Each structure stands twice: as C-alpha cells, then as structure tokens.
Amino acid sequence: DSGVTQTPKHLITATGQRVTLRCSPRSGDLSVYWYQQSLDQGLQFLIQYYNGEERAKGNILERFSAQQFPDLHSELNLSSLELGDSALYFCASSVSPRGGPYEQYFGPGTRLTVT
C-alpha cells in the first residue's frame, strides 16, 4: 500500500455526463499528479499541483479540470464525457516536485467507463 488513496474505484457513466475523481496523497506529500492510462495512449500526464497551486499541465483536455484543496487532497473533474475518456485515472504524490525525495507513489486508480 503506497498510502495514496483514490475514490471511487470504479465509475460507470453515460456520455455527456460529469464526474469527479478524488485523491488523497500520502501523509506529508505536498505534490499531487494526475495521469491517464488508456490502451491506445499508454500513461499520460494530465496535471500537477503543489501545495494547492497548479504547477504543470500536460495533455489535459479543456473539458477536464482539477484542484488541490488546503488539506492537500485533490479532485479531477471530467465533464461532457465521451466514449474515448474511458480509462484508468491514477493519482500520484511526492514530497516535492524537484529535489530531495521526489519519487512518485501511485494510488490504486479509478476505472472510468463511459457508455
């Protein structure tokens, strides 16, 4: 167990809907990362937060947004869902984005199925 938790574990929803994925980082970790894993695209970085502020953006669609709250948990919001958004969404956390111990530890993921 890496200490990173994600809810829900599975999510099945219809096209056009909106969902929220939640992540709690390891105790003491300030940085949270979101990744998408799909069969055709592999593991893709979406977005990173550090201590409540957005730090880096990757291949994240405009329909997707995220935030990190004062208690350091993070939420990834996916709206106007399309069939192609079906994927595993992972959250990872690390102590700091650069320097020192920066290994990223992953949560169990949320499996999103859009029908």
Partner 1 sequence: AQRVTQPEKLLSVFKGAPVELKCNYSYSGSPELFWYVQYSRQRLQLLLRHISRESIKGFTADLNKGETSFHLKKPFAQEEDSAMYYCALIDNQGGKLIFGQGTELSVKP
Which of the stretches 19-27, 66-74, 75-83, 96-104 binds partner 1 when contact is defined by CB under 8 A? 96-104
Which of the stretches 10-18, 20-28, 52-60, 72-80 binds partner 1 when contact is defined by CB under 8 A? 52-60
Give which of 76, 75, 68 is closest to 97, Cα–Cα. 68
Q: Which of residues 10-39 bind partner 1 (CB under 8 A)?
A: 31, 33, 35, 37
Q: Does 56 bind partner 1 (CB under 8 A)?
A: yes
Q: Does 94 bind partner 1 (CB under 8 A)?
A: yes
Q: Does 107 bind partner 1 (CB under 8 A)?
A: yes
78 vs 89 by CB, closer to partner 1: 89
Contact call for residues 28 and 100 (beta carbons, < 8 A): no
Burial call 43-66: b when 16+ CB within 10 Å, e when fewer: eeebbbbbeeeeeeeeebeeebeb
Whole-angstrom distance, CA of residue 15 vs CA of residue 115: 6
DSSP-derived 3-state class of residue 65: strand
Tokens coding 2: 């890496």
Q: Does 88 bind partner 1 (CB under 8 A)?
A: yes
Question: Where on the chain is the footprint of partner 1 (CB under 8 A)?
Answer: 2, 4, 31, 33, 35, 37, 42-43, 45, 48, 55-56, 58, 88, 90, 92, 94, 96-98, 102-109
